[in-house]
Amino acid sequence: MNRSMNRTMIAVVAGGASLGGLGLLGAWSSGEDSVEAREMVFETRAGERLYEPDPTHTSVVFKIRHGGVANFYGRFNDMTGEVHFDAASPADSRMAFTVRTASIDTNNNSRDGHLKAADFFNSRQFGTIEFKSTGITKSGMGYEMTGDLTLQGETRAITARLDGFTAANFMDTDRLGFEARFKINRSEFGMTKYLASDGGEGGALGNVVELIVAVEAIAE
């Protein structure tokens, strides 16, 4: 995929009430195959540089408790976005991402189909998970990022731990890397299938979902 096509896909992370509707913005896609081009979420300010995630080297991984016995892991294979990075003042950086719910991958086609259906992500109605940062602050050796996450049409404020901000040139390309970690309660986004009656971790599926978003982004 050439850079201009990638830029067009990333433009779908539009601002609005709907990652606000990893707010990430309201769910703008009503179907798995519906993509609407929109403006970039942020204007690039003086001192910032725009980076876009390299899909080959960016990972979105989640963990949830299964049967109160063990942790289960899965991933999403399709994330686009924009990172406006200020090397002189990383806390002034901003970012927004869109994850395609139909790209969920748990290494089992039957389970993936169930997760895309109405019991869980309902990918036909809610084609994306969206995030838009609202602030970044220094915290110890890393940073904390606040932002709005939109899932299943519900928007909630989240706080993510950011570690490993690294800007470097690799293979004649300027790149930026970092890792974000955060937790959500899936019940807050209306996802209650197989949830324990007390909303805890003892049901067929737990309530707490831990996410890791490891980004390697390429400078525009």
AA identity, residue 210 = E
Phi, psi dihedrals of residue 36, rounded to the nearest 5°: -120, 125
Bridge pairing between strands 154-170 and 94-100 = unpaired
For tokens 């970044």, the residue is 136
Q: What is the pLDDT of residue 39?
A: 65
Kindly state the tokens that stand for 14.
Answer: 């539009």
Local structure of 10: helix, strand or coil? helix
CA distances from 202 to 70, 121, 135, 160, 184 (A): 11, 21, 34, 25, 16
126-158: buried (b, 16+ CB within 10 Å) or exposed (e) per residue? bbbbbbbbeebeeeeebbbbebbbbbbebbeeb
Q: What is the pLDDT of residue 72?
A: 96
pLDDT digit of tens for each residue in the chain (220 aa)?
Answer: 444 334 433 333 333 323 332 333 333 333 344 334 446 899 999 999 999 999 999 999 999 999 999 999 999 999 999 999 999 999 999 999 999 999 999 999 999 999 999 999 999 999 999 999 999 999 999 999 999 999 999 999 999 999 999 999 999 999 999 999 999 999 999 999 999 999 999 999 999 999 999 999 999 9
Alpha helices in 91-187 (DSSP H): 109-116
Domain ranges of the chain: 3-219
Distance from C-alpha of 111 to C-alpha of 50, rounded to nearest angstrom: 37
Q: What is the CATH number assigned to the segment(s) 3-219?
A: 2.40.128.110
171-186: buried (b, 16+ CB within 10 Å) or exposed (e) per residue? eeeebbbbbbebebeb
Distance from C-alpha of 146 to C-alpha of 64, rounded to nearest angstrom: 22
Residue 201's Cβ-count burial label (10 Å; 0-12, 13-18, 19+) is middle
End-to-end Cα separation, the chain, in angstroms: 15
Measured CA angle at 202 (ends 199, 205), to 5 deg: 80
Distance from C-alpha of 218 to C-alpha of 57, rounded to nearest angstrom: 10
Phi, psi dihedrals of residue 110, rounded to the nearest 5°: -65, -45
What pTM, to 2 d.p., does this model score? 0.81
Could you give the dihedral angle defined by the CA atoms of residues 160, 164, 170 and 174, in that order, rounded to the nearest 10 degrees?
60
